[in-house]
Amino acid sequence: MRLTVIGSAGSVAGPDNPASCYVLEADDAGRTWRIVMDLGSGAVGPLQSLTDPARLDGVLISHGHPDHCADLASLSVWCRYGPSAGEELPAIPLWGPVGIDARVRELEGATDDAGLAPFDWAPLEPGETRALGPFAVTAFAAWHPVPALAYRIEGPAERGGRAVLTFTGDTDLSDEVVEAARDADLLLAEAGWAHREVNPPGIHLTGDQAGLLASRASARRLVVTHVASWVDPAGTLEQARRHAPSAALAAPGVRFDV
Ligand SMILES: [Zn+2]
Ligand SMILES: [Zn+2]
């Protein structure tokens, strides 16, 4: 699998960084499969330089906050009116926690399901595993103020065999999220809090907690993401490296082999 960061900004897009969006690719059965994890604000712009967004094989949304799903409306418009609109491409599987379909309607300002038409929407429950091409996607409950999922994705490893990538979405540290990341080859963990000692519970991780999560789960590699645009990412990375010395920082265009 190959993970490409489209946007890694937390909470709002930055001046040169869209909000949360990652492409996961794998070669299988003679073709390349591409799924997207989150479509935060601004993501569909740079996503076009990697692939025709209308040809994605699937979209996983972690939760309904705009920095994770606002560009679902942009993708819908791209599919309905963009360059491949006349090709009658198959609907794109859209998975996420309950309520993402309503979120698309809200973003579209629509009272009907026109904006949902390019998608094959199916909510995911924590604990559920589903196949999507060569990927096996398992949902875990995240600890966040709205229904939110962390994803554990097993797929073809770049060096042969199978590999596991875990994406936390937005979450505080919890036993469920540690299980989601257990022995993962790559853990893509949010660090949405700035470097404060005390934060309200049930919202985000600090860099320190992202490192702790990797350590407790015995994840092989930590990539820290979702640092707010107004926070110095070097400080967040330094915190994470106290527990996971080889931790790296997600940034637009950076690719990780898994
Ligand atoms: Zn967020
Ligand atoms: Zn959130």
What integer pLDDT is reported at residue 110 of this predicted model? Answer: 86
* Closest ligand to Cα 193: 1
What integer pLDDT is reported at residue 246 of this predicted model? Answer: 96
Instruction: Return the number of other C-beta atoms located less than 10 Å from residue 253's C-beta.
Output: 13
* Closest ligand to Cα 10: 1
HEC readout, 49-70: CCCCHHHCCEEECCECCHHHHC
Q: How far is the CA of 191 from the centre of ligand 1 (A)?
A: 9
β-pair type (135-141, 21-28): unpaired
pTM of the predicted protein model: 0.97
What integer pLDDT is reported at residue 111 of this predicted model? Answer: 83
Single out the residue of 12, 6, 88 nearest to residue 48, CA to CA.
6
Q: How far is the CA of 53 from the centre of ligand 1 (A)?
A: 22
User: Could you give the CA distance from residue 92 to residue 151 in angstroms, rounded to a whole number?
Assistant: 18
Q: How far is the CA of 51 from the centre of ligand 1 (A)?
A: 24
In which domain, by residue range, is 96 found?
2-257
Q: How far is the CA of 67 from the centre of ligand 1 (A)?
A: 5
Q: How far is the CA of 63 from the centre of ligand 2 (A)?
A: 7
What's 130's domain CATH number?
Answer: 3.60.15.10
Number of separate domains in the chain? 1
Q: How far is the CA of 66 from the centre of ligand 2 (A)?
A: 8
Q: How far is the CA of 100 from the centre of ligand 1 (A)?
A: 15
Q: How far is the CA of 144 from the centre of ligand 2 (A)?
A: 7
| Two tokens, residue 158 | 């770049």
Q: How far is the CA of 252 from the centre of ligand 1 (A)?
A: 16
Q: How far is the CA of 178 from the centre of ligand 2 (A)?
A: 18
Q: How far is the CA of 235 from the centre of ligand 1 (A)?
A: 19
Q: At what angle do helices 233-241 and 207-217 cross, to 10 degrees?
A: 30
Q: Tell me which residue has tokens 């979209």.
A: 59
What integer pLDDT is reported at residue 237 of this predicted model? Answer: 98
Q: How far is the CA of 6 from the centre of ligand 1 (A)?
A: 15
Q: What is the DSSP string of 185-213?
A: SEEEEE--S-S-S---SSS---HHHHHHH
Q: Are 211 and 239 in contact (CB under 8 A)?
A: yes
* Closest ligand to Cα 40: 1
Q: Are 194 and 231 in contact (CB under 8 A)?
A: yes
Q: Give, for all 258 residues of the chain, the pLDDT tens digit.
A: 999 999 999 999 999 999 999 999 999 999 999 999 999 999 999 999 999 999 999 999 999 999 999 999 999 999 999 999 999 999 999 999 999 999 999 999 988 899 999 999 999 999 999 999 999 999 999 999 999 999 999 999 999 999 999 999 999 999 999 999 999 999 999 999 988 778 999 999 999 999 999 999 999 999 999 999 999 999 999 999 999 999 999 999 999 999
